[in-house]
Chain A
Amino acid sequence: MSRELIFTRFERFWHWTQAVLIFGLLFSGFALHGTHQWIGYDTALRAHIVLALGLIALWAFAIFWHLTTGEWRQYVPTGRGLPAVALYYAYGIFSGETKPFVSTPAAKHNPLQRIAYFGFKVLLAPALWISGLLLLFAAAWRSTALGAVLPLAWVAYVHVAAAFGLLVFLIGHVYMAATTGKPWYAYLKSMVTGYQESDQAPPGSEREVYTPQVERGSKS
């Protein structure tokens, strides 16, 4: 059994801080939306703003980190190996087959994860950020030319729709990432400790194991 550092200290800090912020944003956001009344509106609004500003700051750091380290390539979607992983989650996982993917520091995410995280970063997060900032600073633009073409309600609709998307993503993500390892909590544990204890993919298993490589040094 080998122990390998998959998630660096920054990544773990980033992931878990982001997790706390996002759960807080969803909770306070749905309070603002009127879905629940567990906290007052004013509390929810202030919390939502503080958490959002916190998340923006965190993302600024994370984007900088990803760009300078080249780790952004971890999130480039790939079709290679995707059918195998998809088939595994749709079928093989039930019959105890071995997962056709092994995380390495160079390729931490399986092709399914890559697509999901890429979608989150490119679609959901910007939709939430842009619409959220527009809502926060509505007083500054609603009476300008922008306000004439962009009703405030539409901005709010985008924000809410993206929030639903985020909730769907989170449910899937928590289930897949926290319960489908071997043992079931293996991925969760590696996200906490950073280390992956891999006896799960013995070399020479029946399925072809595809491990996409991050091509270091070619940052074109």
Chain B
Amino acid sequence: MAKPLRTIVLTVLLAAWALHATAELPAADTENRTGAAVRSTTTADHSKFEQLQGPFSSGPEVTEACLGCHTEAATQVHGSVHWTWRYEHPTTGQTLGKRHALNNLCLGIVGSYERCSSCHIGYGWEDEHFDFSAQYKVDCLVCHDRTGTYEKFPTGAGHPAYEDTMFRGRLFEAVDLAHVAQNVGQTSRATCGSCHFHSGGGDAVKHGDLDSSLLAPSQVVDVHMSPEGLDFNCSTCHEFSGHDQAGSRYLVTAAPQHGIAVPGRESDRPACQSCHGDTPHARSIHDKLNQHAEFIACQTCHVPEIARGGLATKTLWDWSTAGRRSEEGMPVVERDAEGLVLYDGMKGDFAWRENYPPVYRWFDGTMRYTELGETIDPSRPVDINRPEGEAPRNGTRSNGARIWPFKVLEGRQPYDDVHQHLVVPRLFGRDETAYWRGYDWTRAIEAGMAEAQRTGQTEAGFSGSHGFVETRMYWPVTHMVAPAEMALSCEACHSAGGRLEGLEGVYIPGRDRHPLIEGLGWAAVMLTLVGVVGHGLTRAVMAQRRRRLRLGDDAGDAS
């Protein structure tokens, strides 16, 4: 009796243990992926390092400590566009990067370094004399912080707040540098996002596909980055090698050629094809979806809307209305019911939009910029940047251009209305020439353009007279990839008035008709119908009449 009982108890216990163990496994796995380390993935615990015990009084001190072991890190960073803010475009020959390229958000960085360099991976870029060769000026922590407590102060020239400081109504707490230094690790969505989600002056402002909703997105918002799923970091696709990252919006890999990325072979990372290959769609009776990939970017169907994460992105920035201040001299700020800023005395009028369709252009990956000093036609909206590329000519393979989605940011910004070129005003600064102190466009533009000449950005001067010109910027939409079932339907483009209305260089069934064929065709169909109905009715009427006549005859005979 006792023996069977013991067996049963043992079996039950074993089963319970087995169930418990299998239940544990996925949970442990998930924890691992969300980063709450069950088992550390690194071989070093930085909190045990003597060099990192602190105290540290400034960021550069931490950097010196880092460089004690990571001897080549700063040199590597010095070669990266994150540090140089300079990009020599191999196709257009243009010198771009944040130091040179214009935009229609805060227009350009010259003269406003202290403010703009709050997104530079360095410390102390406060004027044009910044030493780009100084190793200790590299900011390791902004990318490698794992505590979430390290934040660059908006006007600190790249430094965090070392003591509690207010900025436009928000408190930036003093950072505990030793704590941050002891907890460094791999980059994360949060570290990349600390700049890229907030570019253009605030959360979700610039890109429309990069905002703080990507810190922990649902699978609907981003099928790759969601902690519910694959939990990708930015660097999962934007691979870094020696602190140099893959992917550039000046030279986009618009039509990847290398298929799935195989170690040791050339790869198109971060292109979709690097993982999904060139023919990711299941064939049905036809293979049209895979064939579409030759001339349509994956993003065109699989990122169906801009700003899908619940945060509106800026669609208009009108500088021409800036300057309104209260009686106390403070810039006026107006918000809509949801708190979005519609007017800011420092910046002008804004418009915002979320979850809306992109515009589509042929794009071969090359962005051509309108440079400072380049002559413009102010009677039309000026493209600050323009995606290059056109449809492949008949009978040729793809020329590298595919149809890509873009967020278009409309702008209205100052230009020299005598010399007919765009200008960069000095927005931020400690003296009255800065627009945000003196609110005088002429002085701000003079200061900005003088600075641009000093740094060699342009030789163009400022006539002293300015107007405001409409501008446009194109931002490729590539993040916030939706789950497959949320991809655009065929009808989105294969219909009159659909997403690709007006896009030239391609025949799209359902969108395109030949007006003559359509007109003659329907005319012939209608004429035939009318003819047939007329013929039939006449027959019926005549037959009716004959019958009546016959009846009449019969009646006559009978009488």
Q: A residues near B, CB below 8 A?
A: 32-34, 37, 40-42, 45-46, 49-50, 89, 93-96, 135-136, 138-139, 142-153, 156-157, 160-161, 163-165, 167-168, 171-172, 175, 179-180
Contact = CB atoms under 8 A, between A and B. Distances in A.
A153 B539 contact: no
Given A40-B490, A46-B284, A96 B392 contact: no
A175 B287 CA distance: 39
Contact of A34 (B286, B511, B536): B511
Interface stretch (B14-22, B106-114, B174-182, B521-529): B521-529
B528 A161 contact: no
B489 A172 contact: no
A95 B542 contact: yes
B543 A96 contact: yes
B425 to A, nearest CB: 48
Interface in B506-559: 507, 509-514, 517-518, 520-522, 524-525, 528-529, 532, 535-536, 538-539, 542-543, 546
B525 A172 contact: no
A34 B491 CA distance: 9
Given A42-B490, A148-B395, A149-B395, 16 more contacts: A32-B494, A32-B510, A34-B513, A41-B490, A41-B510, A45-B490, A49-B285, A49-B286, A89-B535, A139-B291, A139-B294, A151-B507, A152-B507, A160-B521, A161-B521, A171-B528
Contacts of A49: 285-286
B397 interface: yes
B521 A32 contact: no
B73 to A, nearest CB: 47
Contacts of B288: 45
5 contacts: A135-B509, A139-B294, A161-B521, A168-B525, A175-B536
A171 B525 contact: yes
B91 interface: no
A94 B524 contact: no
Nearest to A184: B539
Interface in B458-501: 489-491, 494-496
Given A94-B539, A168-B524, A46 B286 contact: yes
B507 to A, nearest CB: 4
A33 B513 contact: yes
A140 to B, nearest CB: 9
B525 A167 contact: yes
Nearest to B495: A34
B518 to A, nearest CB: 8
B396 interface: yes
B379 interface: no
Contacts of B398: 143
- Give the interface SS of chain A, mostly helix, strand, loop or mixed: helix
- In order of increasing CB-CB distance, the 4 nearest A-B pairs are A148-B395, A164-B521, A41-B490, A147-B395
A135 B510 CA distance: 13
Contacts of A94: 538-539, 542
B535 A96 contact: no
A180 B529 CA distance: 15
Interface string B277-293: 00000001111100100
A103 to B, nearest CB: 20
A144 B395 CA distance: 5
A180 B496 CA distance: 40
B547 to A, nearest CB: 10
Contacts of A135: 509
B524 A164 contact: yes
A147 B394 contact: yes
Contacts of B525: 164, 167-168, 171
Nearest to B396: A143
Contact of B529 (A145, A147, A171): A171
B524 A145 contact: no
Nearest to A29: B509
Given A153-B507, A172-B528, A175-B532, A143 B489 contact: no
Nearest to B542: A94
A46 B285 contact: yes
Contact of A157 (B490, B514, B535): B514
Contact of A175 (B510, B511, B514, B535): B535
A160 B510 contact: no
A175 B540 CA distance: 13
Interface string B157-178: 0000000000000000000000
A142 B525 CA distance: 32
Contacts of B521: 160-161, 163-164, 167
Contacts of B517: 157, 160-161, 164
A93 to B, nearest CB: 6
